[in-house]
Amino acid sequence: AQSVTQLDSQVPVFEEAPVELRCNYSSSVSVYLFWYVQYPNQGLQLLLKYLSGSTLVKGINGFEAEFNKSQTSFHLRKPSVHISDTAEYFCALSSGTYKYIFGTGTRLKVLA
């Protein structure tokens, strides 16, 4: 069975500090990996995706993520966060079908 684990339900961080949101996955087959962001009262927006190739993936709003097959991880990072990055972040995987498996989400709270 496939699964996605986001261990941190909430991550508080001061403005302009770096942040890492952790995502681990489990799958017996190759997967595509995604990070989505959900701002208050909005739907999910794709931040970045790993399909194949380079393990370092750059997304929108200065975010990047690194695919680590040996550690089955896909952690999201940003070197300097802004107040506007306050949102909920979801990691998800797909094994090439229409089914996405989502994590429970990490609420990023950026403090002034």
Partner 1 sequence: ETGVTQTPRHLVMGMTNKKSLKCEQHLGHNAMYWYKQSAKKPLELMFVYNFKEQTENNSVPSRFSPECPNSSHLFLHLHTLQPEDSALYLCASSQRSAPGGYNEQFFGPGTRLTVL
Told to check if 94 binds partner 1 by CB under 8 A, we report yes
Residues 11-50 that bind partner 1 (CB under 8 A): 32, 36, 41-46, 49
Nearest CB to partner 1, comparing residues 15 and 107: 107
Written as one string, the DSSP assignment of the chain is --EEE---SEEEEETTS-EEE--EEE-SS--EEEEEEE-TT--EEEEEEE-SS-SEEE-GGG-EEEEETTTTEEEEEESS--GGG-EEEEEEEESSSS--EE---EEEEEE-
Q: How far is the CB of 89 from partner 1 (least distance, A)?
A: 13
CB of 61 or CB of 100, closer to partner 1:
100
Which parts of this chain interact with partner 1 (CB under 8 A)? 4, 9, 32, 36, 41-46, 49, 51, 90, 94, 96-105
